Amino acid sequence: MQMAPLVLIFVVFYVLVIRPQSKKAKELQNLLKELKKGDDVVTQGGVIGRITGIKDGGDEVTLQVQEGVRLRVLRSAITGLRKAGEKSAEKPVEKSESPKDVKAS
């Protein structure tokens, strides 16, 4: 009966940690295999760019990050796709009026 708690701990650990992590790793591997020219991607460093070239059989991808600016990155550095309509999380900063700007009437 001493083994029952140990087995239970292993099962819980497997269900909560190992299985989800391996599932996510498989999804990322499939994503990296299916990359194609024109995909918008995000790298580990946070660089967002569009794939303009993939070396044949290699693990190198060329990203266009701005007009005329291209970066060569490893395929393994890509962490995900970026949806075409997705905007950055930044919100425009609103100007607040200071008391000096307000004219007394």
At residue 90, the pLDDT reads: 43
Q: What is the 3-state secondary structure (H, E, C) of the chain?
A: CCHHHHHHHHHHHHHHHHHHHHHHHHHHHHHHHCCCCCCEEEECCCCEEEEEEECCCCCEEEEEEECCEEEEEEHHHEEEECCCCCCCCCCCCCCCCCCCCCCCC
At residue 103, the pLDDT reads: 55
Q: Is the pLDDT of residue 98 over 60?
A: no
Q: Is the pLDDT of residue 94 over 80?
A: no
Look at 10-14, 24-28, 89-93 and tell me which has the smallest mean pLDDT.
Answer: 89-93
At residue 91, the pLDDT reads: 42
